[in-house]
Structure 1
Amino acid sequence: MTTLIYKIAPRALWREAEARGTFAGAPVDLADGYIHFSTAAQVRETAAKHFSGQDDLVLVAVDAEGLGAALKWEVSRGGALFPHLYAPLDPAAALWVKPLPLGADGAHIFPELDI
């Protein structure tokens, strides 16, 4: 079974990573020393908490098992385990990349996610 995890990123930053062939992370990832991911159950709260009001974002889906030992599940918000990647991400590992637009109510509009 595939366990999908999700990365929210500014569209321009993700496009640069695709062109370079590596995604080192957003500024918060670089500051923390790992790339932050969320599960399907966590990603909406992540968007509301850390990306409120931000437009022109993408949602990137990645197979957690494909990331190997560099992916660690660590306690974070509310005691929940969050996936953290301690390595650059190859953009080719993305199963899909979809827009994450803002709705009229200011909340992000998510595509259907595998939970």
Structure 2
Amino acid sequence: MTNTEHEIIYRVLGSDEWAEALASGQYAGAPHDIADGFIHFSTIDTLAATLALHYTKRDGLKLLHVPVAPIKAKLKWEPARGGTLFPHLYDVLAVAHVTRVDDLPLDANGVHILPEDLQQTQ
């Protein structure tokens, strides 16, 4: 799947970060996003690896579903992790652009459980 075929991208963040975003109406990113100058997102193809690499055994996470269309002008697809293209948002994320939020519980081994409709695509 190429970057132009992705209609939805995903952001993993802590419940506390999401609560702050809801209160302010926008999400500016985690400290590493702010340092990098953009908000890191994943595609459905990279989501499981992102969780394993950056969020291992971390509880209390949320998964934001964000359509590409309304943020397309500020979104750049840039190589990371061996040249794989990742979506990077060079702007704050308006809460209004988030169409769905899921909890990411941990299984008995500390691995995040994706929502059923996303598991089928992994």
**Fold-level similarity (TM above 0.5):** yes
CA distance in 1, matches of 2:43, 2:114: 13
Q: Shift in Å at residue 2 of structure 1? A: 6.6
Residues 7 and 60 in structure 1, CA contact (< 8 A), matched pair in contact too: yes
Corresponding residue for residue 36 of structure 1: 40
Q: 2:106 maps to what in 1?
A: 102
- 2:84 corresponds to 1:80: yes
CA shift at 1:27, angstroms?
Answer: 1.5
Structure 1 unmatched runs, 5+: none
Offset at residue 68 of structure 1 (A):
2.5
Q: Distance in 1 between matches of 2:77 and 2:109?
A: 32
| Structure 2 CA distance for aligned equivalents of residues 43 and 84 of structure 1 | 14
| 1:18-97 equivalent positions in 2, closer than 5 A | 18-97=22-101
Q: Which 4+ residue blocks in structure 1 deviate beyond 3 angstroms?
A: none
Q: How many residues matched? A: 115
Aligned counterparts of 1:19 and 1:78: Cα–Cα separation in 2:
37
Q: 1:15 aligns to what SS in structure 2?
A: helix
User: Quick one: distance in 2 between partners of 1:2 and 1:93?
Assistant: 16
Report the RMSD for the aligned CA atoms in angstroms: 1.5
8 Å Cα contact 1:2/1:65 also seen in 2? no
What SS class does the counterpart of residue 17 from structure 2 fall into? helix
Structure 1 counterpart of 2:14, one-letter code: P
- Normalised by the size of structure 2, how large is the TM-score? 0.89
- Please state whether the residue corresponding to 2:100 is helix, strand or coil: strand
Cα distance in 1 between the residues matched to 2:59 and 2:92: 24
Q: 2:6 & 2:49 partners in 1: Cα distance?
A: 22
The CA deviation at 1:20 is: 0.4
